[in-house]
Amino acid sequence: MTPDPRTPVVVAGLRTPITTAGRALAGTPVHALAAPVLRALADRLPPDPPVDDVVLGNCRGPGGNTARVAALAAGLGAAVPGLTVDRQCGSGLEAVRLAAGLVAGGAGQVYLAGGAESASTAPHRAWPPTAPGEEAVRYTRAPFAPPGHPDPDMGEAADALARRCGVSRERQDAYAARSHARALAAAARGAFVAELVPVAGATADDRPRRLHARRLARFPPAFGAGGSVTAGTSSGVSDGAAAVAVVSERVRARLGVPGAAVRAAAVAGVDPATPGLGPVPAVRAALERAGVALDDVGVVEVGEAFAAQVLAVTDALGLDPLGADAERVCPDGGALALGHPWGATGAVLVVRLLARLLAPGGPRYGLAACAVGGGQGVAVLLERVGADGGADGGGG
């Protein structure tokens, strides 16, 4: 089959080290996290055709269109615009989805898409006074749903999801220990080196550590006395950025490099009371659109906000990351170990997928999915193209 020249293809992916808020990247504002990644990606692309746009996810930054500020700071030139999107923890993946849609629709041929978050420099926010003499009321986050709808904090939602779906404390501890162990093993063999862009002196992820389930079992509940979610089974509050180059198949072929074609993408809404289940209908919709079975997907990257959330999602999809599917689901660890820079995490998943798909003997298909506060899910299905033994960029 002749490849469609407008098929969107991810040809490169990079990220900063992910560091715990208040540590190595604490003094780096969000645009300055994204700019070095954008610059490094642009340097891997030819000047013609030029970058059509920069699309970045961001949740709690200062406003002012982070993507445009970062694009200018990266030296991409005044002619390159920027769009900042907010789908909360799915923002980075949403940026990739949007860029792929723009390429597929013929709006452009080269996009830099991803996300960035600086929890360390996020501004404090407050509701304005409603009457003379009143003080502003500070809040820690904006509402995910309006009055009359459930609007739990994410930790409380994870506890409720664990109870509803029967995800035991023991399985959560085991999964968290697994995430850290796999991230440490990946770092030790140099799996992250090619994708890392040093920023402000930070050269490596700082969160993964040796944890055992028996140690995790001693952690108290973090979000209520009757809960099962702990600090050890929750992702860290982090700083970081990640982005990918999404180009048309025409450009990929001209470059002569392998890539990962975006075969399908989907978003879905679920009950705001159980936002952690958002990836389930999104994954199913993406697979159905592509005509691909989950059994044919060689690697599945799920945003690891909480161990309970990942296990509830994988249980619903029929995956067993603690057993038969250990090499398929987050095989190099995830946000539980690396950290969770909210607006960037979805893009980190795509960077990780790309590395897996393009490795020698890599699988044909890879899937990334994120849960979103307020009850949403995002999923993107990728297929290896242009590599030895890969697809030709045609149909799925």
Is the pLDDT at 346 greater than 90? The verdict is: yes
Q: Answer yes or no: are the C-beta atoms of 290 and 381 closer than 8 Å.
A: yes
Catalytic residue among 89, 180, 330, 370: 89
Give the integer Cα–Cα distance in Å for 244 and 254: 18
User: What single DSSP character describes residue 354?
Assistant: H
Fold of 154-190+260-383: Peroxisomal Thiolase; Chain A, domain 1 (3.40.47)
User: What pLDDT sits at residue 88?
Assistant: 97
User: What pLDDT sits at residue 394?
Assistant: 40
Active site residue 89: yes
Is the pLDDT at 388 greater than 70? The verdict is: no
Q: What is the mean pLDDT of residues 167-187?
A: 98
DSSP class per residue in 186-233: HHHTTTTGGGB--BTTB-S--------HHHHTTSPBSS-TT---BGGG
User: What pLDDT sits at residue 140?
Assistant: 85
* Exposed / middle / buried, residue 112 (Cβ in 10 Å: 0-12, 13-18, 19+): buried
Active site residue 165: no
* pLDDT tens per residue, range 246-284: 999 999 999 999 999 999 999 999 999 999 999 999 999
Give the integer Cα–Cα distance in Å for 288 and 26: 42
Domain spans of the chain, in order of start:
154-190+260-383
Catalytic residue among 31, 59, 340, 370: 340
Beta bridge partners of 378: 267, 370
